[in-house]
Amino acid sequence: MTTTQHDRALAFRALHVPGDPLVLPNAWDIPSARVVADAGAAAVATTSAGLAWALGFADGDLLDRDSALAAVARITAAVDVPVSADVESGYAKDPAGVADTIRAVIEVAGAVGVNIEDALHEPGAPALRPVAEQAERIAAARAAADEAGLPLFINARIDTYLRGPAEVAPTLERAAAFLAAGADGIFVPGAVDPGTVKLLVDGVDGPLNVMAGPGAPSVPELAALGVARVSTGSAIAQAAHALVRGAARELLSAGSYGSLAGGLDYGELNTLLGGAR
């Protein structure tokens, strides 16, 4: 760990302000990270789905830890802002393995934050890990970061609202347990209804992260509700791949190029990506 990494960790932590949220257009490779940083983002957060897709894997704990963190390391080296890594459920079966992942996040990837989700992707497994089990994994992550001397921001993702109709109370129960275990913030993707978001903001004793996209309240509206972090998850990667498909289909069927209008200028993009940081 370097002094710069420690400073970036402190800076990243300070960006989580209820009512003045950190806005994260999630990236998945060096080009997307540099474009996001150049657009003015105060930090870069990876999307595990977008990153996995870019490496030829499906999302859902199928990408191995070494490949994932090597990709994050390339992103961290390519930008001058703090980087937070989406590490899915920790790339590990048990808390000890999660701790190993966190050590690699710090020492190999150079990141200053992580997302750790409570979803299970194993066939026949419950949709979510039991609260106590997930709390143990978060506690292991916290201990590993503390041992490394880095104030790593641990964003505990709670997937209650991604698994169908959900209730606020069980989500708040999970949030309280995960914060007590050492998480710094709570991420509840899928919860975008203003009334629900407000209940979560009021009920979570820490910064709340909302995943936004088409149909969600605007950033100013989420800020007014007290949200401290707004991210886009895989939405930008999905939009980018939709453009590839649309342009390819148009070219191969109609023989036209309208989908390519509005692309980044070649020279601008080449300059942005040229040279090592």
Give residue-wise pLDDT tens across range 224-271.
999 999 999 999 999 999 999 999 999 999 999 999 999 999 999 999
Query: Percentage of the chain with pLDDT > 90?
Result: 94
Judged against a pLDDT cut of 70, whether residue 118 lies above it is answered with yes
| pLDDT tens figures, 184-226 | 999 999 999 999 999 999 999 999 999 999 999 999 999 999 9
Give me the phi and psi of 152, to 5 degrees please. -60, 130
pLDDT over 70 for what percent of the chain? 99
What is the homologous superfamily of the domain 3-234 according to CATH? Phosphoenolpyruvate-binding domains (3.20.20.60)
pLDDT of residue 275: 60
pTM for the full predicted model? 0.96
The span from the CA of 117 to the CA of 188, in Å, is 10
* CA distances from residue 93 to 51, 121, 127, 240 in whole angstroms, order as listed: 21, 11, 15, 32
Amino acid 53: pLDDT? 98
Q: What is the pLDDT of residue 2?
A: 74
Tell me the helices (H) and strands (E) count for the chain, helix number first. 11, 8
Domain ranges (residues) in the chain: 3-234
* pLDDT tens readout for residues 42-51: 999 999 999 9
**Mean pLDDT estimate for the chain:** 96
Q: Quick one: tokens of 163?
A: 């698994």
- In three-state secondary structure terms, 255 is coil
* Alpha carbon distance 4, 141 (integer Å): 21
Helix (H) / strand (E) element for 208: namely strand 208-211
Cα separation values, 83 from 64, 86, 110, Å: 20, 10, 8
Asked if residue 276 has pLDDT above 70, the reply is no
Which pLDDT score, from 0 to 100, does residue 123 have?
78
The yes-or-no verdict on residue 164 having pLDDT over 80 is no
